[in-house]
Structure 1
Amino acid sequence: MPQDYLKRILDARIYDLAVETPLDPMPLISSRIENQVLLKREDLQPVFSFKVRGAYNKLIHLSDEQKAIGVIAASAGNHAQGLALAAKHLNIKATIVMPQTTPAIKVDAVRRRGAEVVLMGDAFDEASAHARKLVIETGMVYIPPFDDPDVIAGQGTVAMELLRQHPADIDAVFIPVGGGGLCAGMVAYIKTVRPEIKVFAVEAEDSACLKAAMEAGERVTLPHVGIFADGVAVAQIGEETFRVMKDLIDGVVTANTDEMCAAIKDIFEDTRSIAEPAGALSLAGLKKYANQHNLQGKTLVAIDSGANTNFDRLRYISERTEIGEKREAVLAVTIPEVAGSYKRFCQVLGKRSITEFNYRYSNNKDAHIFVGIQVSPENGDREDIIHTLQEADYAVVDMTDNGMAKNHIRHMVGGHGVNVKDEIIYRFEFPERPGALLTFLTKLAGRWNISMFHYRNHGSAFGRVLVGMQVQQSEKLALEKLLDELHFNYWEETDNQAYQLFLE
């Protein structure tokens, strides 16, 4: 089956628009994980993403009649930019349907390249449905972002360059997956030319549609898709891409938000460039796989697939990096409410660096402190700290992997409610658009008293809110019926230890 794509890839005439990108060594991360790590720099394409390869390859295969009608596509951003540039180069009219949550930097870039932009829906699948509706209405040619042989072949040229640039031994290549176009093209080429090289697909943990399909033995649709890594936020793997990948890839690795943030920092430190979350995804998977399998002395390749991210997202990325790199432990510790307790606590920690310390007086017996401590990712340092504190008779709760604690509690510590009865806590996520917070409040306010509210703009596609409401048990079903009608993702957090220790 991979032979089906070999000729397509070799015949892809993309280089009058796309460029051959370098394969950069990464000395710092290589030294740290004791493997030779190489980075294929697709962020250096004219649209800062590999997507221009597949888009251009598809357009040059259209008939003159199809080119005259014009093209349309749905995209979260990178395919849109690649198609807009390719269409402009070939003097073809292009319309792009993009989710309303797409970072502004991508929307503006598409418009600058002459394409018409239509914003629709909160995720790729809604935008895709609208684009296909417009195809019926206008007769324009739909250009898929990944699920098309010509697109897949265009993306496969990344592998052709890679193997030519590094003819020596390669142990494994890690490739980011959203809809699967890049991975399908690359694995088809690699397994035909160098079948001994292992190929791993890397997905965001909260949009792992390929992993779900592999486990089910068929394509499935995810009920929810996380869009921190908006470039791979796809609910269902492509039909053709799944056909190609399912028997060729050597495995699927998933990475979470913190691990992607840490990989963004790694890329910056080695190359002085800033990858978007999806662009750093494969490096996050590479590091995770190497650690889990104790790899040493191997040659490992990651694909930096893009660099299109909003600047204001860097604040959030920077915040999460230390935890993603496992260099910070976030703990809730109970200490006696007596003079000198903080000093003794610091003495127990010794010379360890405290990165954060939050505390507010609550009663004259116990003090609950929220503390960040710098740790070494090697040798179980976080566990050693917790053991040391417990040996000193401190009650400790590890909050390092508690999403509510990292997103909200660390910024709210100390606000215990006084005489707040029947309080229920909910955490919400809703699309971050102009007026979205006002819409949220308008729908929620009125019937029940809001006893706590925390909102913080993280520079990402979804806003995050923590809300406390005074609701009698007899009215809880009515409340949750209303919440279901809002069509926002929400979770009850009343039993979350972070809330119980610092806010209840």
Structure 2
Amino acid sequence: MPVGSSAIKFQNVSRMGAKVKSNKLSAIFVAIGGGGLISGIVSYIKRLIPEVKVIGVETYDAASMYESLKKGERVNLDSVGLFADGTAIKLVGEETFRICQEYGLDDIVRVSTDEIAAAIKDVFEDTRSVVEPSGALSVAGMKSYIQSHPEIDHSTKTYVPVLSGANMNFDRLRFVSERAVLGEGKEVFLAVKIANVPGAFRRLQKIIHPRTVTECSYRTDNSDPATDAEFSEVYTSFSVQDREKELKEVMAAMRGEGFFPYDLTDNEVAKSHGRYLVGGKNKIPERFIHFEFPERPGALDKFLDLLKAEWNLTLFHYRNQGDDIGKVLTGIQVPDHEEKRFQQFLKDLGYNYSDQTNNVIFEIFLKG
């Protein structure tokens, strides 16, 4: 019997005292690993205040209790995801499973990695405390439960997520900060095929504007002039307020321009690997310029507005890093006789830049 876990809940509920009754505690959300914490909580709560729901939370890739309760017996998972490593358990405990089955969990919510990252951000912004992924699992589950039950008036409910664990490091924080906006539904990722002609990238940006672009990778491929592609690929992400509505509008506008957009927001391989594979080699002469864009609305528009239409933009790579300066790598096809106009363009733009045309990295990877 998980006595220690029961004691945790006994202390918490006792401290609440009259607040439990006055606030009409509605549900407690608890992360599930081996099942010790939630079995202790459910056995105590269902004896003391049985009308309060006890809802477990697991990740989609480590839902051992969910699968076990569904089947009516303990299920040993073949593998588990390790992002929320504190709850990454293949097989729940025998006694904890029996207790959860006997007292009856009211629900088990499963959440994604991005939802956990968003929950870590929420906890930090509210408390200035950084919890580990498993520690934020209950908050992610609570948010998911609220979103998936619009028929409930949640403003009249009191929900309590149990937080635990602060096993966090900087490497993981970097990943969390990047994926949090996806978990909040505030960023979308698209792959877009655009016509391989000057001005196409500008038209694409006008469709996305005024939304904030958070990443953009674009590269033409002219490595074989005999088989030059009709289209080039763009990998881009941008901020949204209403993901479903805005994504539908943006993709429709892109199709109207003759582009071919693909939604990659929920494509894990694209987010983890595909974004770094955009590229190709060119045999045509081009200049590689590294810019420092100010992180403010209109910075990209100014660049594209000043760029001459006859200068083909062959490469564009940018990722928002949360700094006040955005580092942007560009490839621009500028004829030799246009050098004077090109220098004037750089001056009028007013952004810090460095000419990287002779950098060995481009000789290796980008020049055909």
Superposed pair shares fold, TM > 0.5:
yes
The equivalent residue for 1:387 is: 252
Q: What pairs with 1:71-470 in structure 2 (closer than 5 Å)?
A: 148-157=1-10, 159-161=12-14, 163-164=16-17, 166-167=19-20, 168-246=23-101, 247-294=103-150, 295=152, 296-297=154-155, 298-362=157-221, 363-377=228-242, 380-415=245-280
Amino acid at match of 2:234: I
Q: Structure 1 pair 404/333, CA: closer, same or farther in 2 (3 Å)?
A: same
Is the partner of 1:304 in helix, strand or coil? coil
Cα distance in structure 2, aligned partners of 1:259 and 1:404: 17
Is the partner of 1:253 in helix, strand or coil? strand
Q: Structure 1 pair 299/392, CA: closer, same or farther in 2 (3 Å)?
A: farther
Q: Structure 1 pair 250/345, CA: closer, same or farther in 2 (3 Å)?
A: same
Cα distance in structure 2, aligned partners of 1:334 and 1:209: 41
Amino acid at match of 1:305: S
Cα offset for 1:156?
3.7
Cα distance in structure 2, aligned partners of 1:283 and 1:151: 22
Q: Is the 8 A contact 1:354 1:372 kept in 2?
A: yes
Q: Is the 8 A contact 1:325 1:377 kept in 2?
A: no
Cα distance in structure 2, aligned partners of 1:397 and 1:374: 16
TM-score (norm 2): 0.69
Cα distance in structure 1, aligned partners of 2:259 and 2:243: 24
Cα offset for 1:416?
7.5
Amino acid at match of 1:205: Y
Amino acid at match of 2:118: A
Is the partner of 2:74 in helix, strand or coil? coil
Q: Structure 1 pair 415/316, CA: closer, same or farther in 2 (3 Å)?
A: farther
Q: Is the 8 A contact 2:194 2:232 kept in 1?
A: yes
Query: Structure 1, residues 262-286: CA drift from partner, whole Å, max 9, x if none?
Result: 0000001111111100011010011
Cα distance in structure 2, aligned partners of 1:417 and 1:181: 59
Q: Is the 8 A contact 1:156 1:184 kept in 2?
A: no
Q: Is the 8 A contact 2:85 2:134 kept in 1?
A: yes
Cα offset for 1:388?
2.9
Query: Structure 1, residues 99-124: CA drift from partner, whole Å, max 9, x if none?
Result: xxxxxxxxxxxxxxxxxxxxxxxxxx
Q: Is the 8 A contact 2:220 2:280 kept in 1?
A: no
Q: Structure 1 pair 351/205, CA: closer, same or farther in 2 (3 Å)?
A: same
Cα offset for 1:377?
4.1
Cα offset for 1:381?
2.8
Q: Decide which structure has the larger Cα Rg and report it.
A: 2
TM-score (norm 1): 0.51
Cα distance in structure 2, aligned partners of 1:227 and 1:251: 23
Question: How many residue pairs align between the two structures?
Answer: 271
Q: Which runs of 5+ in 1 are unaligned?
A: 1-147, 419-504
The equivalent residue for 1:449 is: none
Cα offset for 1:364?
4.6
Query: Structure 1, residues 206-242: CA drift from partner, whole Å, max 9, x if none?
Result: 1110000011111010000111111101101111111
Tell me how large the CA RMSD over aligned residues is. 2.1
Query: Structure 1, residues 22-66: CA drift from partner, whole Å, max 9, x if none?
Result: xxxxxxxxxxxxxxxxxxxxxxxxxxxxxxxxxxxxxxxxxxxxx
Query: Structure 1, residues 330-367: CA drift from partner, whole Å, max 9, x if none?
Result: 00001111111111111122311111110111145211
Amino acid at match of 1:185: G
Q: Is the 8 A contact 1:158 1:186 kept in 2?
A: no
Is the partner of 1:166 in helix, strand or coil? helix
Cα distance in structure 2, aligned partners of 1:359 and 1:269: 34
Cα offset for 1:313?
1.1
Amino acid at match of 2:139: L
Cα distance in structure 2, aligned partners of 1:337 and 1:194: 66
